[in-house]
């Protein structure tokens, strides 16, 4: 879950690495570091904190090297401090390495190396790698890296340099790594966001690829030593899309981009009252659908279960990918496994995909990042086209995922020979405008945030298709405001959570029109009787709701299948404004990283 970066070219290396690392800080920001080959020596700077705190711009003119590596860290082994920060180096301080991933057998390797008199400075698993490369080094860095990685169990995306050679050796297994091809310059990164300012031409490495980067060129092999060819892809988004555009935070910008992101996910996919998806599915052979994901994507999957079972009538199971991959799952060739991941690199989701493929299931991926590992490995895939999502707490990707699962439901129904409901199709197409109406009410939501920002606990309650929205609303608040929040099915409140309700407990109800509206009113009555502070999200001008609620957030009227998308917007804004009013770093909540590429 770290961000890594390498550069070889005639540009201002330190400045390029500094700027690129700032764009990677959403992947990790506990500590950072840069190493630049400066003539025959290596300039190294690293410490706890962000790259802006560690490396000051006045250094740029003092360092003239044209080869360097950089790292921004999210700690897995060892606390954030200077010794544990990357780049790591060997005993002679000649080999330098940045690494993303986890070396599972690092303790065994470390004992082996200590017996060979290697001295370790840090508590990290990554430092073991650089000493293992040193152990095998004999004037050929590529060979040393290959031999070292042959002994490694675990995942890695890594860049290695030696002070005597103007080259980078890079390798990948289980962690994303791309090569950016510029005009005479070569870049390496875990994420295209770091490269987009300099080039749009990228190569996505496959697992067990190893590449040597030299001036103006590169060569790629697999770890068995065979030459391989990887296609050059062109990034379709630009630098402007990852700038804040006047918003205080990326998260707020991305919340307000949802009319556009929803338009993008729908563009060309509803035409002449039909769903147009370029996926290879045979509904007649499907006996079951399994959706697997992590975090916010798992909440999207739960909504997908409601939609598919209601619209299509095929049984759907939803699994956390982290559990699915290790459970003795029963999967067969008549199952469709749908994997959801904004980044397309989520380690557990990728492992769940590979397990499903090994059991013969059909696989379908829903991802946002073009060229990501999941997008390349699924049998069929759908891109969200939501644009880059930099804020750690997912917003626009979540709503785009839900729309995509709705489109898949209708696509399967259509392929079963049924005519689609025009009312539903029109409601889907009206989503961007309805979301904009909610965004225009931001000030009303901010006023409620001001009232509740000092609370220590929240409860979010929904029923049916809006129960997962309650989970997602609670997660958003936890992620960025550090307020304890729980999402529950409203009917389950009586089975425990009702004991928590008193005059200090804010309770957010999702009470939009649908099959369980009257049931939700009863649940609101129960909370009201116990003194809870009630915030209700509704699309109904209902006197009972006005009477029972302390605060009401009105959303545009829609049908039940669309309501999770509509209802999630005010909850995103509520979480954002509470966190912002508390003075917290909304885009970089503590202990979290955007893309979870390690277990």
What's the CATH number where 60 sits? 3.60.20.10
Asked whether residue 599 is domain-assigned, the answer is no
Domain boundary (402, 429, 456) is at 429
Q: How high is the pLDDT of residue 23? A: 82
pLDDT in tens, 87-138: 999 999 999 999 988 898 999 999 999 999 999 999 999 999 999 999 999 9
Q: How high is the pLDDT of residue 304? A: 97
Residue 174 gets which letter from DSSP?
B
CA distances from 92 to 42, 114, 120, 137 (A): 12, 15, 12, 12
Q: What is the mean pLDDT of residues 529-553?
A: 91
Rg of the chain's alpha carbons, rounded to an integer?
Answer: 25
Coil, strand or helix at 319? strand
Instruction: Based on the fold, state whether residues 253 and 394 are members of the same structural domain.
Output: yes
For 252, other C-beta atoms within 10 Å of its C-beta total 21
Residue 445: pLDDT above 60? yes
Q: How high is the pLDDT of residue 474? A: 97
Q: How high is the pLDDT of residue 27? A: 63
Indicate which residue of 2, 46, 434, 476 is catalytic. 2
563-581 and 467-481 helices cross at what angle (nearest 10)?
20
pLDDT in tens, 232-269: 988 877 766 677 778 999 999 999 999 999 999 999 89
Q: What's the half-sphere exposure (Cβ side, CA atoms, 13 Å) at 272?
A: 1
Q: What is the mean pLDDT of residues 517-533?
A: 88
Asked whether residue 596 is domain-assigned, the answer is no
CA distances from 14 to 43, 44, 129 (A): 10, 11, 24
pLDDT in tens, 261-292: 999 999 989 988 999 998 887 777 788 999 99
Can 2 be counted among the known catalytic residues? yes
Instruction: Based on the fold, state whether residues 410 and 454 are members of the same structural domain.
Output: no
Q: How high is the pLDDT of residue 216? A: 81
Q: What is the mean pLDDT of residues 46-55?
A: 83
Instruction: Based on the fold, state whether residues 61 and 186 are members of the same structural domain.
Output: yes
Domain boundary (373, 408, 429) is at 429
Integer Cα distance of 530 and 484 in angstroms: 20
Instruction: Based on the fold, state whether residues 33 and 131 are members of the same structural domain.
Output: yes
Q: Which residues contact 257 (CB under 8 A, 6 or more apart)?
A: 386, 387, 396
Which two three-digit tokens encode residue 388?
């880059």
Number of independent structural domains in the chain: 3
Residue 77: pLDDT above 70? no
pLDDT in tens, 365-422: 999 988 888 989 999 999 998 888 888 899 999 999 999 999 999 999 998 888 998 9
Integer Cα distance of 423 and 259 in angstroms: 20
Q: Quote the pTM value.
A: 0.80
Instruction: Based on the fold, state whether residues 58 and 195 are members of the same structural domain.
Output: yes
pLDDT in tens, 175-201: 889 999 988 899 999 888 888 889 989
Reduce the secondary structure of 221-259 to three states and give it as a string: EECCCCECCCCEEECCCCHHHHCCCCCCCHHHHHHHCHH
Q: How high is the pLDDT of residue 1? A: 59
Identify which of 171, 245, 185 has the alpha carbon closest to the alpha carbon of residue 215. 185
Indicate which residue of 253, 355, 413, 594 is catalytic. 594
Is the separation of the CB atoms in 523 and 506 below 8 Å? no
State which residues form the domain around 102: 3-235
Integer Cα distance of 445 and 403 in angstroms: 24
Q: How high is the pLDDT of residue 537? A: 96
pLDDT in tens, 564-574: 999 999 999 99
Mean pLDDT of the chain: 90
Identify which of 342, 343, 593, 341 has the alpha carbon closest to the alpha carbon of residue 352. 341
Residue 599: pLDDT above 60? no
Integer Cα distance of 565 and 431 in angstroms: 8
Integer Cα distance of 233 and 401 in angstroms: 24
Q: How high is the pLDDT of residue 568? A: 97
Integer Cα distance of 60 and 52 in angstroms: 13
Instruction: Based on the fold, state whether residues 154 and 7 are members of the same structural domain.
Output: yes
Which two three-digit tokens encode residue 207?
């697992």
Instruction: Based on the fold, state whether residues 209 and 61 are members of the same structural domain.
Output: yes
Identify which of 486, 491, 444 has the alpha carbon closest to the alpha carbon of residue 463. 491
Q: How high is the pLDDT of residue 509? A: 95
Is the separation of the CB atoms in 461 and 509 below 8 Å? yes
Instruction: Based on the fold, state whether residues 460 and 333 are members of the same structural domain.
Output: no
Is the separation of the CB atoms in 324 and 292 below 8 Å? yes
Instruction: Based on the fold, state whether residues 212 and 260 are members of the same structural domain.
Output: no
pLDDT in tens, 146-184: 999 999 998 899 999 999 989 999 999 988 899 999 888
Asked whether residue 434 is domain-assigned, the answer is no
Q: What is the mean pLDDT of residues 28-46?
A: 85
Is the separation of the CB atoms in 598 and 76 below 8 Å? yes
Q: How high is the pLDDT of residue 506? A: 95
Instruction: Based on the fold, state whether residues 554 and 464 are members of the same structural domain.
Output: yes
Q: Bigger pLDDT: 592 or 13? A: 13
Q: What's the half-sphere exposure (Cβ side, CA atoms, 13 Å) at 189?
A: 30
- What is the secondary structure of 526-587 as a DSSP string? HHHHTT-EEEEEES---HHHHHH-SEEEE-----TTTHHHHHHHHHHHHHHHHHHHTT--TT
Q: What is the mean pLDDT of residues 474-498?
A: 91
pLDDT in tens, 287-346: 899 999 999 999 999 999 999 999 999 999 999 999 998 888 889 888 999 999 998 888
What's the CATH number where 508 sits? 3.40.50.10490
pLDDT in tens, 489-507: 988 888 888 888 888 899 9
20-34, 58-72, 365-379, 384-398: which has the minimum mean pLDDT? 20-34
Tokens 């002994």 correspond to what residue? 151
Domain boundary (195, 210, 235) is at 235
Q: How high is the pLDDT of residue 278? A: 85
Instruction: Based on the fold, state whether residues 281 and 209 are members of the same structural domain.
Output: no
Q: What's the half-sphere exposure (Cβ side, CA atoms, 13 Å) at 582?
A: 22
């Amino acid at each position: 879950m770290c961000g890594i970066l390498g550069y070889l070219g005639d540009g201002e290396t330190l400045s390029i690495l500094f700027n690129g690392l700032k764009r990677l800080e959403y992947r990790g920001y506990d500590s950072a570091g840069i190493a630049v080959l400066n003539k025959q020596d290596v300039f190294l700077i690293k410490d706890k904190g962000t790259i802006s705190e560690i490396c000051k711009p006045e250094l740029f003119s003092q360092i003239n090297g044209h080869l360097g590596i950089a790292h921004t860290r999210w700690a897995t082994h060892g606390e954030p401090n200077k010794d544990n920060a990357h780049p790591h180096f060997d005993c002679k301080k000649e080999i330098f390495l940045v690494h993303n991933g986890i070396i599972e057998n690092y303790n065994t390797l470390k004992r082996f190396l200590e017996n060979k008199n290697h001295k370790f400075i840090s508590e990290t698993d990554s430092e073991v790698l650089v000493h293992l490369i040193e152990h095998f080094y004999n004037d050929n860095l590529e060979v040393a890296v290959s031999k070292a990685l042959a002994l490694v169990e675990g995942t890695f995306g890594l860049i290695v340099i030696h002070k005597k050679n103007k080259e980078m050796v890079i390798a990948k297994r289980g962690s994303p790594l791309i090569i950016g091809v510029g005009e005479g310059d070569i870049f390496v990164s875990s994420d295209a966001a770091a490269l987009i300012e300099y080039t749009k031409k990228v190569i996505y490495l496959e697992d067990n690829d190893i590449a040597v980067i030299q001036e103006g060129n590169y060569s790629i092999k697999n770890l068995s030593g065979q030459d391989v060819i990887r296609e050059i892809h062109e990034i379709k988004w630009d630098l402007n899309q990852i700038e804040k555009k006047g918003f205080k935070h990326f998260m707020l910008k991305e919340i307000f981009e949802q009319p556009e992101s929803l338009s993008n996910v729908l563009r060309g996919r509803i035409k002449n009252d039909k769903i147009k998806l370029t996926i290879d599915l045979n509904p007649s052979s499907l006996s079951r659908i399994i959706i697997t994901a992590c975090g916010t994507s798992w909440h999207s999957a739960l909504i997908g279960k409601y939609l598919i079972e209601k619209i299509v009538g095929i049984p759907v199971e939803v699994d956390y990918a982290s559990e699915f991959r290790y459970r003795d799952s029963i999967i067969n060739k008549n199952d469709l496994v749908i994997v959801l991941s904004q980044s397309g690199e989520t380690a557990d989701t990728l492992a769940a995909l590979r397990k499903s493929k090994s059991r013969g299931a059909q696989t379908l991926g829903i991802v946002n990042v073009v060229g990501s590992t999941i997008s390349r490995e699924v049998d069929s895939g759908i891109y969200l086209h939501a644009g880059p999502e930099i804020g750690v707490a997912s917003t626009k990707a979540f709503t785009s995922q839900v729309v995509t699962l709705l489109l898949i439901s209708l696509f399967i129904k259509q392929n079963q020979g049924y005519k689609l409901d025009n009312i539903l199709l029109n409601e889907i197409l009206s989503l961007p405008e309805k979301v904009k109406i909610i965004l225009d009410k931001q000030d009303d939501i901010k006023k409620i945030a001001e009232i509740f920002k000092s609370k220590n606990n929240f409860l979010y309650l929904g029923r049916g298709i809006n129960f997962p929205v309650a989970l997602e609303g609670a997660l958003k608040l936890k992620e960025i405001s550090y307020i304890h929040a729980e999402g529950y099915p409203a009917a389950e409140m009586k089975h425990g959570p009702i004991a928590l309700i008193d005059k200090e407990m804010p309770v957010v109800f999702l009470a939009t029109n649908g099959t369980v509206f009257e049931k939700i009113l009863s649940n609101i009555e129960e909370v009201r009787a116990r003194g809870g502070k009630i915030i209700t999200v509704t699309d109904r001008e209902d006197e009972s709701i006005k009477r029972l609620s302390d605060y009401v957030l009105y959303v545009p009227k829609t049908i039940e299948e669309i309501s999770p998308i509509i209802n999630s917007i005010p909850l995103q804004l509520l979480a954002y404004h509470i966190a912002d009013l508390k003075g917290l770093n909304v885009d970089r909540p503590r202990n979290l990283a955007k893309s979870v590429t390690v277990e």
